[in-house]
Amino acid sequence: MSAHHEQSFISKYVFSIDHKYIAKQYTVTGMIFAFIGGLFAVAFRTQLAWPGTNIPFIGVLDGMKYNMLVTNHAMIMFFWAGMPILLAGLGNFVIPLMLGADDMAFPKLNMLSYWIFFVSAVLLILSFMAPGGGAAGGWTMYPPLNAQQGVDPDANFLVNLWTGGSLLILAVAVEFASMLLGGINFLVTSLNMRAKGMKLMDVPAVVWMINLATVDFMFSVGPLISGAVMLLFDRIFNTGFYDPARGGDPILFQHLFWFFGHPEVYVVLLPAIGIVAEIVPTFSRKPLFASRWIIIMATASAFIAFIVWAHHQFVAGIDPRMAEFFSITTIIISVPFAFIFFAVIATMFKGQIEVKTPMLWALGFLVFFLVGGVTGIFNGSAGLDMYIHDTYFVIAHFHYTLIPAVFFAGLAALHFWFPKATGRMMNETLGKLHFWITSIGFNMFAFPLFFSGLYGEHRRIFNYSSYQPMMADWIINIRHVATIGAMILAAAQVLLFINIILSATSGEKAGKNPWKCNTLEWVADSPPPHGNFATPPSCYRGPYEYSNPKRSGSDFWPQNEQ
Amino acid sequence: MSDVTIERVPKGRLGVWLLIAGEIVIFGGFIASYILARLEYPEFGSKEAAGDLNIVVGTVNTLILLISNWTMVKAHEAALEKNVAKAKSFMIYTLVLGLLFLGIKLGYEWPTDFSHGHTISSSKAIADQAPGSEVMKVSLFWSYYFLMTGFHGLHIVVGSLVIFFVMLGISGGQNLHRVELAGAYWHLVELVWVILFPMLYLIQ
């Protein structure tokens, strides 16, 4: 590959092997799915607040349709929004640029990863068109329900394959294969293609975190791929891997699922922390506090992430001694994250803080994620979890972890790297307005659910009208407030859409380094050409040398300048 | 390939090792599930389950796969000496042995198992009458057996295709490093079989 050869329309915009364009493909696909997933949530929240409402395009929700929307909301937000945006999109964009490389290690494999991902998205959409509609067995796909729902044991295996449940399992498995191939690319690129002189500790925190997330993903997803194949076989070949009557064990699937499912949370969280660790020093003009220890702690948490999974199964009938072990590991894993949080906050101490939009989103992440992190300790304690499991307390908890991670940190990254990707600045006023409306909507929707959850409101119920204790006035009010919050949250995204279109077409020109940042991507042109750098940069120091007294004349010291 | 970056460990080798690591975890899921079921059910070793597998044929197949790995190592050796003709002929031996393994598995072993009434499916009707009976546990063994040998067979097919296309690609003496990569993947396929064989056939 020469650095600047001409590309045809197809090879530039469709089957592109340029990591920056693939990053945009992932991000745009992810954002479209995030919007669809969000609308699903608004639809079923409307049903919860005002049961029997006729919802535009969907109609009145019955139990089945409600379950279908909830199941696919979770699936879409995790696997077709969170992972493509935070891992694949962000990783593809920043890894080669921050390492000073011209592209990924395997550009064609990178293109293949995206198109396999695209196939998985098509399978997901097909699953809605199957007879009986989309999958409705909950996003965790627990058997025996999911091994049987919509399945006719006497029918041909193709008939059983052409059901929402089977197609969704297939879509998820294909998506994992795509992310596995992408992950190989990330790790090889980061180990192999760093700029001259760049030691591992000179690699920016966000690249570290994306790679740790990749390791977590690659070494935890295997059991779920095999578990999903077994579940699919239970559906289409009439096996009994998870059927107790046939010697199988439904708890086995829970272990295989959560062995992946919990590290998956860190797959989404670690890149988010990495983003914040890049943005906070830049906008505080101070070195990242204890940056070496942040990376050590994140590495520790990436390993502990493999031994916390059964805290999702405290009520599944696991041995109490095992529950105690997983309670302890779950509480231990909060230690490295607490350390990282304190270090990021310490970075701001006595800094010259400038609250531009990316910084605002990063601060939003810190504040709101804290609520999710602290309530995680509640859920991790086996005794308390017995009570709050499967209530809206858990829903509120994981929305306070995932929305800050995927949306707040993800939007921080979007506003931060948008000038690099398009060459134009995003509109600050629109960005700040979008931040505040999103924050209000999000907190209105998620915070009240802690209270209804503690009161005992159970999730996975589509109409509370026949449960008298759940029909007290205050709890109905909470449902209304939460639903209006979700609507505000969804509507606020129109501002983002307007901002992206306006800024991409007529935003202020950004120049090479609008944020006066040290890392190597700001050495390249904005947007970087095919091949990224005119001359390959060398690296002389770590990425966080802000306000260094040895440097006269400016408060930053790019990694490539001697 | 690129003048912009510096090479450390050859990236192809690193990539294949990571792929192998990912594959090991996938097989790990099947193997761990099987071991858990095996520990719970001694019936898996009974005459109708593992006892009904032909150990002699299984051993022959294991030997075939072991020899195919040796020929693959010889192909790698030849590639290091830049001897294209020798590398290609050893890769052809590997392919023939791989296909022989697959032929015995799909052409003899599976049909024999089918003729003894074993299939991957288990009967819902019997499960309803006698839940958790010995018949059901034996049929669970056969589900695992067909699942794991089938998945392994799929890897033989993929590994053979990889070797075949690498063989076509080295004709002009270029891309010889790919022989090592195809070989590494082929060793994974062998390694998995060396675990599956005692687990399914020998422990009775």
| pLDDT tens column, B68-84 | 999 999 999 999 999 99
- What 3-state DSSP class applies to B159? helix
Q: Which residues contact A551 (CB under 8 A, 6 or more apart)?
A: A545, A557
| Cα A477 to the center of its chain, rounded Å | 30
**Min Cα separation A234/chain B (Å):** 8
- What's the pLDDT at B11? 87
CA distance A279 to A204: 11
**pLDDT tier at B4 (50, 70, 90 boundaries)?**
very low
Residue A534 contacts B, CB cutoff 8 Å:
no
CA distance B67 to B73: 10
Closest A-chain CA to B34? A241
The closest alpha carbon to A370, from A401, A328, A336, belongs to A401
- Percentage of residues in chain B having pLDDT higher than 70: 96
The closest alpha carbon to B155, from B192, B126, B103, B195, belongs to B192
CA distance A75 to A120: 12
Interface A–B counts its CB contacts (< 8 A) at 147
**Min Cα separation A244/chain B (Å):** 7
Q: Where do the domains of chain B lie, and which CATH numbers do they carry?
A: 11-202 (1.20.120.80)
| Contact between chains at A192 and B14 (C-beta distance less than 8 A) | yes
The closest alpha carbon to A316, from A376, A389, A424, belongs to A389
**Do A316 and A341 meet the contact criterion of CB atoms below 8 Å apart?**
no
| Contact between chains at A533 and B4 (C-beta distance less than 8 A) | yes
User: To which H or E segment does residue A54 belong?
Assistant: strand A54-55
The DSSP code for A134 is B
Which residues make beta-bridge pairs with A267?
none
- What's the pLDDT at A3? 43
Which sequence spans correspond to the domains of chain A?
A: 17-511+518-523
- What's the pLDDT at A58? 87
What token pair was written down for A449? Answer: 């659910």
Residue A224 contacts B, CB cutoff 8 Å:
yes
CA distance B71 to B81: 15
| Contact between chains at B5 and A153 (C-beta distance less than 8 A) | no
Which residue intervals of A201-311 are DSSP H helices?
205-218, 221-236, 250-284, 291-304
Closest B-chain CA to A259? B29
CA distance A22 to A20: 5
**Do A355 and A363 meet the contact criterion of CB atoms below 8 Å apart?**
yes
B 22-81: CB under 8 A from A: 22-30, 32-33, 36-37, 41
Tens-digit pLDDT profile for chain A (562 aa)? Answer: 344 456 677 777 788 899 999 999 999 999 999 999 999 999 999 999 999 999 988 889 999 999 999 999 999 999 999 999 999 999 999 999 999 999 999 999 999 999 999 999 999 999 999 988 899 999 999 998 998 888 888 888 899 999 999 999 999 999 999 999 999 999 999 998 999 899 999 999 999 999 999 999 999 999 999 999 999 999 999 999 999 889 899 999 999 999 999 999 999 999 999 999 999 999 999 999 999 999 999 999 999 999 999 999 998 888 889 999 999 999 999 999 999 999 999 999 999 999 999 999 999 999 999 999 999 999 999 989 999 999 999 999 999 999 999 999 999 999 999 999 999 999 999 999 999 999 999 999 999 999 999 998 999 899 999 888 899 999 999 999 999 999 999 999 999 999 999 999 999 999 999 999 999 999 999 999 988 999 999 999 999 999 999 988 889 999 998 8
- What 3-state DSSP class applies to A527? coil
**pLDDT tier at B1 (50, 70, 90 boundaries)?**
very low
What was the ipTM of the complex prediction? 0.93
From chain A, the residues in CB contact with B147 under 8 A are 229-230, 233, 239
- What's the pLDDT at A6? 61
Domain at A17-511+518-523, CATH from 1.20.210.10, 1.10.240.10, 2.40.30.10, 3.40.50.1240: 1.20.210.10
| Contact between chains at B4 and A153 (C-beta distance less than 8 A) | no
Residue B7 pLDDT greater than 70, yes or no: no
From chain B, the residues in CB contact with A192 under 8 A are 5, 7-9, 11, 14
| Contact between chains at B139 and A240 (C-beta distance less than 8 A) | yes
